Structure 1
Amino acid sequence: MTIRILAAGDHFVRSDLLADALRQVVPGGADIRELTLPWPVVPFGRVGEVDEASDVEEELIEALRGVEICVTQMAPLTRRVLDACPDLKLFCVSRGGPVNANLQAATEAGVTVTFAPGRNAVATAEHTVAMLLAATRRIPQTNADLARGVWRGDYYMYDHVGPELEGGTVGLVGYGAIGSRVARMLEGFGAEVLVYDPYVTGVPGQVELEELLRRSRFVSLHARVTPETTGMIDAKRIALMPAGSVLVNCARGALLDYDALCDALDSGHLFGAAVDVFPTEPIPEGSRLLTTPNLVMTPHLAGASKETAAKAARIVAEDVARYLRGEPVAHHANPVLAAS
């Protein structure tokens, strides 16, 4: 019997990348179909009961007719999709976490969900260091002034220049695949690195969060969002940071109180900040973030690189190959199903 596979890509992890990765590892007789979703031309959002998905339930249901395996980045695996697609058995999300999949409903339907941990670790780590430097040396602001023909000598004044990384202390909140890479990069700059992560042990420079904030001139967030970490960097904790510090968030918007961030920048307590993620995406019109000084922003693209897209396609394709060989998949998202 021919195995039908849907490669539901988008304009980043493209359908052809997914299909090509599949063809390298799955049997030649597989029927691989392609569907292109609109992200990032059309922003993702909440679809049904899942987050960060493309609003394409109707198109997905139609494309999944008779399909056993779906590989995707942004397709919504909602209860409605599951109810309409009884042939579906494997749903592979080419992201670091399957936030666009209803894991409980998938488990109830007997659908295995996988994901692609570490796919963007290198890209995000590099972007984090770039954002740290951009905020510390005020690169976007000075570039914008020069682009409109303004040469501002006041940027060279002592009170307006930022600190160096060499000899400075950088605090990393989270030490997973991304945070650990950032640490290695920063050590190359000659910085002292402190780490707060309750889920790892034996890391050099490991301290409690409050101590990290008090000692660090630079702080970068790399934690996962959990009930415990949501809003963890609030006004009280920002106030612990030394005056003139720099704060970077390329992880998740929910980790940081953005009103408190804006207050700290407005008051001058923070020298600068750089963020790639936001509490609401896209940023709403009229948001304080659009007018707060000394804030560097990028539109949630820290993990965007050609290598990230290729790795994502390869990771999910390899799990499809394991599934077809009757082996356990490597990156199971619904472990109750895996154990049953």
Structure 2
Amino acid sequence: MTRVLAAGDGFVLPALFDEALRGEPDVGDLDIAHLTAGWPTEPFGPVGPEGARVEEASGTEDDLVAALDGARVCLTQMAPFTSRVFDAAPDLQMVAVSRGGPVNVDLAAADRAGVAVAQAPGRNAAAAAEYAVGMTLAALRRIPLADRELRDGTWRGDLYAYDEAGLELDGATVGLVGYGAIGRLVARVLRAFGATVLVADPYTDEATASTDGVRLAELDELLRSSSVVSLHARLSDETRGMIGARELDLLPEGAVLVNSARGGLLDSGVMDSGRLPEALRSGRLGGLALDVYDVEPPPDDWPLHHAPNVVATPHLAGATKQTAHRAASIAAGEVARFLRGEPLWHPANEVARAHTEGVAS
């Protein structure tokens, strides 16, 4: 009997992990316990003491340690796997994180504890891509503004005036900063609208770009040439704050900026200095669509609360039922492969890679 912890939350429910794992073949008898964290009604955030914390986690170390008692494997989305948790869970051998990146897991601590960690890349690619395109259309055509004004009793016929009219994707040049699974899906949809798509991504080659019908460009060239720029890069030391005052100045007059990837890609200095709100008020920036923020939720004194031409949503790009089922299924598949002694498809740490290489040889 294998003891398993399904550590879900209000989105990827423990029951989804349970159902997905029980549907896998040849995993033996399972004793699956459930733990539910507070996200998404409670914001995620760092968990653990300074110097030993993990990011974007939900729940407490104490609750997780108690629930892991005797567990050999765990499926989770946001449970805080800190070094303290690994030290307190001697039976644990494998953690499957149902996210594209296991930022809620201290991978070095997992390696020290001999615990394999797997991840779930692409789980929300379709949802996030559709949302990015929707945010782009909303900003270009000022759909939220028109909806809000009409329901408040104001008929904004002036939005049909030339100076107030929106822009089309057909014939537009759209720049995608980052070209992973989400970016590629966004490009496919944009090309169907008739847009020309530029891509800035050091990990994408000319052959891939040519096959997809997009053109590679350096970031500065992309910014100068695009009437819409959508961010899809992963947040790292290299990409943090990559769009700042200098980059905003490169955009054409009236361009639209969309960020549904990570808040940290946008330099907080352009917000704190008032540079971004002023660019929106002056029309230098035609629109801004945000689904992610440095601080979630934004504080009461957030400079963009009353800025014009802003579309803002509360980190919802991946929020589809299909994403939740897909996330649970990918994580369950990794656990099943581990239990069957098969190579993992999505190893995230050295122990997981060693397991995969060992059973494949």
TM-score (norm 2): 0.92
**Higher mean C-alpha deviation, range 148-157 or range 217-226:** 148-157
Determine what percentage of the aligned residue pairs are the same residue: 57
Q: Determine the C-alpha separation between the residues in 1 that align with 2:128 and 2:352.
A: 31
Aligned to 1:206: 216
SS in 2 for 1:290: coil
Give the Å deviation of 1:324: 0.6
- In the alignment, which residue of structure 1 is the partner of 2:19? 20
Counterpart in the other structure of 1:275: 290
Of 262-271 and 80-89, the range deviating more from structure 2: 262-271
Write out per-residue CA displacement over residues 119-174 of structure 1, whole angstroms, 9 at most, x where no aligned residue. 00000000000000001111111111111111122211211111111011000111
- Is 1:324 the counterpart of 2:339? The answer is yes
Q: Report how many residues are paired.
A: 339
Which of 158, 165, 180 is 2:162 aligned to?
A: 158
Pairing partner for 2:310 from 265, 271, 295: 295
Q: Which residue identity lines up with residue 236 of structure 2 in the other structure?
A: T
1:50-93 deviations in Å (ceiling 9; x for gaps)? 01111321111111000011101110001111111111111111
Contact 1:162-1:271 within 8 A present in 2 as well: no
Quote how far apart the aligned CAs of 1:217 are.
0.4
- Please name the residue that 1:255 is paired with: 265
Say whether residues 1:117 and 2:157 are aligned partners.
Answer: no
Question: Which amino acid in the other structure matches residue 22 of structure 1?
Answer: L
> How far is the alpha carbon of 1:336 from its aligned partner?
5.6
222-231 or 25-34, which moves further after superposition?
25-34
Q: CA deviation at 1:266?
A: 2.5
Counterpart in 2 of 1:219? 229
Amino acid at match of 2:247: R
Contact 1:221 1:250 in 2 (8 A): yes
Paired residue secondary structure (1:70): strand
Alignment of 1:88-107 (within 5 A): 88-107=92-111
Conservation of the 8 A alpha-carbon contact between 2:55 and 2:104: yes
Give deviations 1:168-205, integer Å, cap 9, x for gaps: 10001111100010000000100111111111101131
Partners of 1:55 and 1:98 in 2: CA distance: 15
CA contact (8 A) 1:174 1:195 kept: yes
**Matching residue of 2:36:** 36
Shift of 1:289: 2.2
Q: Does 1:10 align with 2:25?
A: no
Matched residues in 2 for 1:168 and 1:21: separation? 43
SS at match of 2:198: strand
**Alpha-carbon offset, residue 293 of structure 1:** 1.3
Matched to 1:308, the amino acid is: T
Distance of 1:106 and 1:120 partners within structure 2:
25
Amino acid at match of 2:31: D
State the TM-score, normalizing by the size of structure 1: 0.97
TM-superposed deviation, 1:28: 4.6
Q: Which amino acid aligns with 1:302?
A: A
Mapping for residues 304-323 of structure 1, pairs under 5 Å: 304-323=319-338
CA contact (8 A) 2:277 2:304 kept: yes
Whether 2:140 is the aligned partner of 1:136: answer yes
> Which aligned runs of 4 or more in structure 1 are off by greater than 4 angstroms?
none
Kindly provide the amino acid, as one letter, of the partner of residue 161 in structure 1. A
CA distance in 2, matches of 1:108, 1:334: 11
Task: Report the Cα distance in structure 2 between the residues aligned to 1:175 and 1:256, rounded to whole angstroms.
Answer: 17
Deviation per residue, 1:307-338 (Å, 9 max, x gap) = 10011001010001110111121111113652
CA apart distance, 1:227: 1.6
Shift of the alpha carbon at 1:285?
1.5
Aligned positions of 1:175-194 closer than 5 A: 175-194=179-198
Gaps of 5+ in 1: none
Which residue identity is paired with 1:265?
Answer: L
Equivalent position amino acid for 1:241 in 2: L
8 Å CA contact retained: 1:45, 1:55: no
